Chain A
Amino acid sequence: MSDLRELYQEVILDHHKRPRNFHKLEDANRHAEGFNPLCGDKIQLYLRVEDGIVRDAGFEGSGCAISTASASLMTEMLKGKTEAESEALFEKFHDLVTGKSMPDSASLGKLAVFSGVREYPVRVKCAVLAWHTLRAALQGSLERVATE
């Protein structure tokens, strides 16, 4: 059970039950769709980017606790960040969940709660789905992102 608590931390369960920014952005100027064909998780990500800064973010879709909480926390963290900062955050997050390195928790903020994912390699895709979708939205790609 202790291991599971490592993965399913309170913050994750909370964001799963009550996802933040869980809505379409009517004034979004960036949008991308993410899909994990392995488990059927789907996400629609909406961003309003002005002067290179993410002003607002929202998402819709269905997924497991890890992917929903990841999208929820991501949209919270993005607001006010530049596109470059958002990209850099993805890199750090990716390193965290794949166990590649242990980034300093200060730069990750709340995202540090996903550290448990590295013990569950098959769940990494759940954690990064929203972030891959973010990258596609920032790059203006119109193709659906699939984590396969």
Chain B
Amino acid sequence: MKSTEEITSGKFAGTGPSIDVERVRRDFPLLEEKVHGRKLAYLDNAATTQKPRQVIDAMMQFYTSGCSNVHRGVHLLSERATANYESARSRLRRFINARDDREIVFVRGATEAINLVASSFGKAHVKPGDEILITGMEHHSNIVPWQVVCEERGARLRVVPINLAGELLVEEYEKLLNPRTSLVAVTHVSNALGTVNPVRHIVEMAHRNGTPVLIDGAQAVQHLRVDVQALDCDFYAFSGHKMYGPTGIGVLYGKERWLESMPPYQAGGDMITSVTFEKTIYAKLPHKFEAGTPDIAGVIGLGAAVDYLESLGVDRIAEHEHALLEYGTKVLQAVPGVRIIGTAPGKTSVLSFTLEGVHPHDVGTILDQEGIAIRTGHHCAQPVMDFFRIPATARASLALYNTREELDTLAAGLRRVAEVFN
């Protein structure tokens, strides 16, 4: 049994046979695609991962032979759809080791999960003069909702600084915690830098201060095993499409007592027990937060994505990706002019970098011609770019199906970029 810090620091011990990459690649139809006549090297997994056939088939099956609404109707199809939908919820609960299915709320993605907490927790628990504490490495989706709450509630947003390696300054965090801090919102893994934050420690310190913690897990669940009970976090948000599931679906985990204390986020059907014009009684958790017909096919697809990840083993995936990260770091550093941004010792498989004398946008265009898909830009983390005094980076982000060969292709591509520009 690994300790939580071991798990969250990105270091992994061997856990049996490693992933057979050639075999898993065959599960992903898109990886066969050619781009500009070249073999595709898909290295933009932090933006979204490709989907395995198992996920695509599960959704296809729902639409071709199981389509019906959930939580309504007594007919067979509706019963079956409801069972499949709720079964996916249970699998997601097990996936992050939540205590109860009622703590798993389906949302559109991590962004909506954070907005839900910002809005509902904000209404119930944020008072004028309170402080909400975030960090300098957050994605815009874990900054802007809190700015809105602060504006609405007369609270103040405070930011924990980071260092040049891209690590959180934990001692500064501790200093910023105070009796006015009503919530800490922190990313588990930085999307722009790959840094794995010491979230267990962050939660512990916040709780000592009596402050609940929301963790943005959008870049974490697909890379390392997450146990929300071990972390003891109060909220955990993640998206399906970054963990091999469909777009438009995600999960908000919330401790039952917090979710119970919060008003609904949206109102409508499915989130009520009874409605009269005089009084409406809200449904119990999690349905209180799931107004309207949900993305049933998305939930079923996400359930299939969890099954897929579990079948490979998250620890084995992490091991494979960690080896790729080490190899990728080495081959990129060997390219003249490359500077890697984000050099924390505990990292997931994200390689953010700049190439001297060439803007990342130009790097991206030239690599694209070579069939290499990377992300360029500020990665929705403008404050991170400002901190490093760069306008943007190029980012290669690796997934379970990537290979060393693709990293060699990337390094060769970067040498071509230098050729074009010199």
A interacts with B: yes
Residues of A within 8 A of B (CB): 1, 3-5, 7-8, 13, 17, 38-42, 62-66, 68, 120, 122-123, 126
Q: Across the interface, do A62 and B377 meet the contact criterion of CB distance under 8 Å?
A: no
User: What are the residues of chain A within 8 A of B365 when measuring CB–CB?
Assistant: 4, 7, 120, 122-123
Query: Of B358, B369, B382, B385, which is within 8 A of A4 by CB?
Result: B369
* Contact pick for B362, options A1, A38, A42, A66, CB 8 Å: A66
Tell whether, in the assembled complex, residue B385 and residue A13 are in contact, meaning their CB atoms are under 8 Å apart.
Answer: no
Is there a chain A Cβ closer than 8 Å to B127's Cβ?
no
**Could you tell me if A65 and B391 are in contact, using CB atoms closer than 8 angstroms?**
no
The residue that A39 contacts in the complex, of B358, B391, B421, with Cβ under 8 A, is B391
| B378 lies within 8 A of chain A by Cβ | yes
Contact yes or no, A40 B378, CB < 8 A? yes
| CB-based closest 5 A-B pairs | A64-B359, A64-B361, A40-B391, A40-B392, A65-B362
- In Å, the complex CA distance between A126 and B364 comes to 13
A39 and B377: CB pair below 8 A?
Answer: yes
What sequence of 0s and 1s flags, for each residue 353-392 of chain B, a beta carbon within 8 Å of any chain A beta carbon? 0000111111001100100000011100010010000011
User: Hey, what's the 0/1 contact readout for B324-350 against A, CB within 8 Å counting as 1?
Assistant: 000000000000000000000000000
Complex Cα spacing A38 to B385, Å: 13
B376 touches A39 (CB 8 A): yes
**Is B420 in contact with chain A by the CB < 8 A criterion?**
yes
CA distance A4 to B392 in the complex (A): 22
- Chain B residue with the shortest CB-CB distance to A123: B365
Main secondary structure of the interface of B (DSSP, over half): helix
Given contacts A7-B365, A8-B362, 15 further A-B contacts (CB under 8 A): A1-B416, A3-B369, A8-B420, A13-B421, A38-B377, A39-B361, A39-B376, A39-B391, A39-B392, A42-B391, A62-B391, A64-B359, A64-B360, A123-B365, A126-B361
Residue of A nearest to B366 (CB): A4
Cα distance, A68 to B361, chains bound together (Å): 12
Bound form: Cα–Cα A63–B357 in Å:
11
Knowing A8-B420, A39-B391, say if A64 contacts B369 (CB, 8 Å): no
> In the assembled complex, how far is the CB of residue A110 from the closest CB belonging to chain B, in whole angstroms?
20
- B residues adjacent to A (C-beta < 8 A): 357-362, 365-366, 369, 376-378, 382, 385, 391-392, 416, 420-421
- Give Cα A119–Cα B385 distance, bound, in whole angstroms: 29
Tell me if A40 and B369 are in contact (CB < 8 A).
Answer: no
Q: Which residue of A lies closest to B357 (CB)?
A: A17
Q: Which of A1, A17, A41, A123 contacts B391 (CB 8 A)?
A: A41
Q: Identify B420's interface contact among A4, A39, A123, CB under 8 A.
A: A4
Query: Which residue of B361, B369, B392, B416 has the most chain A CB atoms within 10 A of its CB atom?
Result: B361
- A-B contacts, 10 of them at CB < 8 A, read A1-B369, A1-B420, A3-B369, A8-B366, A13-B420, A62-B391, A63-B391, A66-B361, A68-B359, A123-B361
How long is the Cα–Cα vector from A62 to B376 in the complex, in angstroms? Answer: 15
Give A64 to B360 CA distance when docked, in angstroms. 7
> Nearest residue in B to A38 (C-beta to C-beta)?
B377
Tell me which residues across on chain A come within 8 A of B369, comparing CB atoms: 1, 3-4
- Across the interface, name the chain A residue whose C-beta is closest to B416: A1
The listed residue with most A CB atoms (<10 A of its CB), out of B360, B377, B391, is B391
A98 to B361 alpha-carbon distance, docked (Å):
18
- Residues on A with C-beta less than 8 A from B360 are 39, 64
| A65 pairs with B358, CB closer than 8 A | yes
Give complex CA distance A64, B420 in Å: 14
Cα A123 to Cα B361 with chains together (Å): 9
Q: CA separation between A4 and B362, bound complex, in Å?
A: 10
Residue of A nearest to B358 (CB): A65
Q: Which residue of B lies closest to A5 (CB)?
A: B420
Contacts of B382 in A (CB 8 A): 40
> Which residues does chain A contribute within 8 Å of B378, judged by CB atoms?
39-40
Given that A4-B369, A4-B420, A8-B420 are known contacts, is A63 also in contact with B359, CB under 8 Å in the complex? yes
In the complex, A123 Cα to B365 Cα: how many Å? 9
Determine how close the nearest CB of chain A comes to the CB of B386; give it in whole angstroms.
10
Determine the chain B residues whose CB is within 8 A of the CB of A1 once the complex forms: 369, 416, 420
Chain B residues near A4 (CB-CB < 8 A): 365-366, 369, 420
Shortest CB-to-CB span from A41 to chain B, Å, is 7
CA distance A17 to B366 in the complex (A): 17
